[in-house]
Structure 1
Amino acid sequence: IKYDGYRTQVIVEDGTARTITRRGYDWSSTYKTIVEAAATIPKSAIIDGEAIVLNEKGVSDFHSVRSAMRWAPDRIIFVAFDLLHHDGIDLRREPLLARREKLLELVGTAKGVIQYSHHVHGGGADFYAAVDRMGLEGMVSKREESSYRSGDTEAWVKTKCYEEVDFEVAGVQRTPGSAPLALMATRDAERRYVGSANIALTKAMRERLYAKVQEGKG
């Protein structure tokens, strides 16, 4: 499952722990509950995963993570999906499934602050359909024998779920130096504003759209 949160690495050493963001910032003070739980992990380890918050439907919610950082940090949990180092041994060259087997032994299957991200073998199309029905963000497909590499890699493929809805263009917002935004509204009688979207059209098509909006101002 692709979780909607903040990519995070948990580093455990000598009975202490810290959390590092994707850009290399130390967010240990933000993820205090995760740090406290990770500090109980025996020996040293570097664990890759995602800091998330589950909403009332049990689905990871990115906006809830932002809110929890300030108002309810104890709601933030860490879903672990890879193990880079353990007990002084660099595991990055080992196959993915071998690393994950060691990770499962390390964090277990408990539903606490630190959780293991389970996977399935094969059946990608069916799995994606199930993820889509459940309203999740998407899925991540990984090559079983792949080693761990930082940055972009062909060993991982992220497939997101999308919802398609038709809206009316209620207006166009133009800001010098920025792409124009379409101001969207529902197509019912209430015509409620629902947000904005970048207009990914050619210049000529954008000009025709803007002209139509101007005609409908009345």
Structure 2
Amino acid sequence: MVRNPERRTALVDAAIEVLAREGARGLTFRAVDAEAGVPAGTSSNYFASRDDLFTQAGRHIHVRMAPDPDEVAEVMRPGPSRELIASLMHWVVRRMTAERTGYLAMLELRLEATRRPALRTELTRAIRADLEANIRFHVDSGLPGDPDTVRLLHFAVNGLLVEVFTLPGVFGDDPGQSAHARESADEETSRLVDLIVSRIVPG
């Protein structure tokens, strides 16, 4: 029986890197071993099957992408207001941009979950728990709005991030072409975050 949790975590992190770069089809034991820099066959000692590897990646990615509690406390220092919610949403976008690999891997896992029941169960549990925690945080912090406000922010900002990470040229020129285009796309993303908050959150 394998008893090295650090090695398991390193392998799952490697799987997330492979998912983001190669997509679900590229996630093999051999690719994970190469990414983690371990001997061939190592991953097969830690995961019962490829399906198990996907499920473990789905379980771990939320831990990897969870915010630092100290960062949350710092962002929450101002009093509850619509302006604070806008700051929180901008912070979420910055965090996801900094963790681009994790976000792309999450998109791959979501698609793969439509074909893998165990992964679908795991992702559903984790994302539902995150959303419920966000709703409790919002209400307990006295932020304006109700649980549906949080749900709508969740759907709107996540939809925006899908465009940012997959088809940024939807906002205009492809940001991959020039620094000016990247700056314009960032400005448009920021404007849309403010618009989302202003339309969804009560004043």
TM-score (norm 2): 0.25
Q: Which has the larger radius of gyration?
A: 1
TM-score (norm 1): 0.24
Question: Which structure carries more helix by proportion?
Answer: 2
Question: Which structure carries more strand by proportion?
Answer: 1
Higher relative contact order (CA 8 A, sep 6+): 2
